[in-house]
Structure 1
Amino acid sequence: MRILYLIPARKGSKGLPGKNTKLLGDKPLIEYSIDFALNNLKNDDVLCISTNDEAVITIAESKGITIPFIRPDELANDNASSHDVIIHAINQYEKLNQTFDAVLLLQPTSPFRIQDDFTNLIKEYSVDTDMVVSVKLAKENPYFTLFEENSEGFLNKSKIGNYERRQDCPEVYAFNGSMYLINIESIKKSRIAALKYIKKIIMPEERSVDIDTLADWTLAEFYLKNENS
């Protein structure tokens, strides 16, 4: 299986400006994802960093990574979706007569992956799977703690079930943003939200930090400090 490792890192985050190149511990945030990819590339796999950020390009080039294209402005704003970024990258490589079986989306805002996570991800993948995604156990549960407002302004449980204790409810999962291993043919046909044949690997809370705000960053620093202590 030939994999396109794709790290999306646009410039201009509003929640935490410059987060991709901000030092987390002793290295820039994006370097955690770059190092993870470099440690797992095999055979003719390719690492692509889709960015319009000169600081990111400098970091990548310092690690011997060639940036094959600059992400266009229309894919570097708040309205650009991950699907559009993935398809753009696939198309750029196909112009160079390079094709892949799967794309592994590694969001730089989720730095705490370990080798076992990757191994489990690969084990779950098969040609009849649209995507294998990393998840965490969700604290909120639609049978118990999640509600939707009806037309009369009253709250109803998001999912109906006769459960009186949370521990009796079915387990539910939340994408943790860390890894998405996606079948190339599937992503060409459907957007990520429309994929049907999805498998999961579970990552613990301490490896499921998705950094978007200063509070997230502070939590990441806490977990990193405890890991290294």
Structure 2
Amino acid sequence: MKVYAIVPARSGSKGFKNKNVQQINGSPLIAYSIRFAQALGCDRVICSTDSEVYRDIAEIHGAEVPFLRSDFAARDTAMEQDVLKDLYEKFIQYQIEVPDIIVWLRPTFVFRDLELIQQGIQTLIQHPEYSSVRTICETESRLYRLEDGKLIPTFDDQNKSMIRRQDVGSRYKVYSTDIFRFNKENLGDDFLGRNVLGLVTDKICGLDIDDESDFNIVKCLVESGLEDVKKYLF
């Protein structure tokens, strides 16, 4: 089976300008995902971007950028499925062999568990019953929403001001790394399918850089030199 790593790196971030190429410890964010993909041993490592500047940076760090994104896949409102449709169409247009499996490496996640992702790839290859694999990490389950400034629990608080996490149960964050099957029929809103295997990873691998505060937290961790951090860096 052909396995491609895709690093999606749109250039138009508004909340934190040029987020995907911000530097940590001398490397732009996309470089961490590219190096991880290389360590995985995927058949190809491709960066999907709409920017010529990002393309040049990705190529310097070892990724292929055989084409730039189409306009519809580069809009602020574009979702993963739009990028996947664009990838498929461009693979056909540029006569690039379509992969069986894609490893989706969002550059805003710097920390990843190599052995766990390798396990996920092999599981998807060996078990056709699974539609995809996602790395997940445990997160706070006692969450609230605001309604006109009033706190409303999204869980059963049993009419108590404090409730133990154990009494609510475990909840998990997704989105760090996805591994899924890729073909012409699998480009819609439900591209991960309904039989998704979750692989629990360390909480540090769930740190997502959405804004400058997130960036500063991750930057401090990367530059700390701690062994528990370094093992998830590439």
Instruction: Provide TM-score, normalisation by structure 2.
Output: 0.82
Report the counterpart of residue 14 of structure 1 in structure 2.
14
Amino acid at match of 2:20: N
Q: Point out where structure 1 has 5 or more consecutive residues left out of the alignment.
A: none
* Aligned residue runs from structure 1 range 1-229, under 5 A: 1-42=1-42, 45-95=43-93, 96=95, 98-125=97-124, 126-139=127-140, 141=141, 144-146=142-144, 157-160=153-156, 164-175=163-174, 177-185=175-183, 188=186, 190-192=188-190, 195-228=193-226
Question: How far apart, CA to CA, are the structure 1 residues paired with 2:107 and 2:191?
Answer: 20
How far residue 6 of structure 1 moved from its aligned partner, in angstroms, is 0.9
How far residue 27 of structure 1 moved from its aligned partner, in angstroms, is 0.9
Q: Point out where structure 2 has 5 or more consecutive residues left out of the alignment.
A: 228-234
Question: How far apart, CA to CA, are the structure 1 residues paired with 2:47 and 2:61?
Answer: 12
* 1:52-72 CA distance string (max 9 Å, x none): 222221122224543111112
Question: How far apart, CA to CA, are the structure 1 residues paired with 2:61 and 2:68?
Answer: 18
Question: How far apart, CA to CA, are the structure 2 residues paired with 1:148 and 1:23?
Answer: 35
How far residue 200 of structure 1 moved from its aligned partner, in angstroms, is 1.1
Q: Secondary structure of the residue that 1:104 maps to in structure 2?
A: strand
Q: Secondary structure of the residue that 1:188 maps to in structure 2?
A: coil
Deviates more, 1:120-129 or 1:49-58: 120-129
Amino acid at match of 1:131: S
Q: Secondary structure of the residue that 2:176 maps to in structure 1?
A: strand
Alpha carbons of 1:194 and 1:147: their partners in 2 closer, same or farther (altered >3 Å)?
Answer: farther
Alpha carbons of 1:157 and 1:21: their partners in 2 closer, same or farther (altered >3 Å)?
Answer: closer
Q: How many residues align?
A: 221
How far residue 34 of structure 1 moved from its aligned partner, in angstroms, is 0.8
Q: Secondary structure of the residue that 2:224 maps to in structure 1?
A: helix
How far residue 124 of structure 1 moved from its aligned partner, in angstroms, is 3.8
Contact 2:138 2:170 in 1 (8 A): yes
Deviates more, 1:180-189 or 1:64-73: 180-189
Identical positions, percent: 25
